[in-house]
């Protein structure tokens, strides 16, 4: 499971002209799922995101987490995070899970993050053509891969 987390001062997801989710300060999380992902990956990556200290404290040091700040989050499915670009110029998405595997894992991840944060999390819609808008704060953008925990 891969996640790109972006610290934002605002973010939104719009589908067919309708805003599906909108937050002020918090995290925009792009989530890529592969067939090998499990409940263990979901738990690990959710806890990592909830507790990652990437928000500034009073001294301007990145020392506070999403939980510490009680900030909001949006999770957007992003199969392209598993793109392979080794050969040619057209990415291969063979490692990305198909919808029958990915959708339940995506929904489990959203529920796990909501549980870890103790609040509702905004989402996009799996498989939809989404317009994602954000103002990256910092900028702070971090890649987390549950298969690379060391």
Catalytic residue, chosen from 6, 55, 78, 109, is 78
Q: Of 6, 14, 55, 80, which residue is the catalytic one? A: 80
- The partner residues of 6 in beta bridges, in order of sequence, read 28, 141
Neighbouring-strand partners of residue 96: 34
Q: Which of 79, 109, 112, 123 is catalytic?
A: 79
Residue 6 annotated to the active site? no
Cα(133)–Cα(131) distance, integer angstroms: 6
Q: Which residues does 126 contact at the CB level (< 8 Å), separation at least 6?
A: 77, 99, 102, 103, 106
Catalytic-residue membership of 78: yes
Distance CA 53, CA 108 (A): 23
DSSP tally for the chain: helices H, then strands E: 3, 8
Question: How many C-beta atoms lie closer than 10 Å to residue 99's C-beta?
Answer: 13
Q: Is 79 a catalytic residue?
A: yes
> Which residues are marked as active site?
78-80
């Amino acid at each position: 499971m891969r996640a790109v987390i972006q610290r934002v001062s605002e973010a939104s997801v719009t589908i067919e002209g309708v805003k599906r989710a909108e937050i002020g300060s918090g995290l925009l999380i792009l989530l890529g799922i592969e067939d090998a992902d499990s409940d263990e990956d979901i738990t690990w990556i959710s806890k990592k995101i909830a507790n990652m200290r990437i928000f500034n404290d009073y001294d301007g040091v990145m020392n506070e987490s999403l939980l510490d700040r009680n900030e909001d989050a949006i999770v957007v499915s992003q199969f392209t995070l598993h793109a392979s670009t080794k050969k040619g110029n057209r990415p291969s998405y063979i490692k990305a899970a198909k919808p029958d595997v990915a959708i339940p894992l995506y929904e489990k991840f959203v529920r796990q993050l909501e549980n870890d944060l103790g609040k509702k999390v905004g989402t996009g819609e799996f498989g939809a053509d989404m317009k994602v808008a954000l103002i990256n704060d910092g900028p702070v953008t971090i890649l987390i891969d549950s298969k690379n925990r060391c």
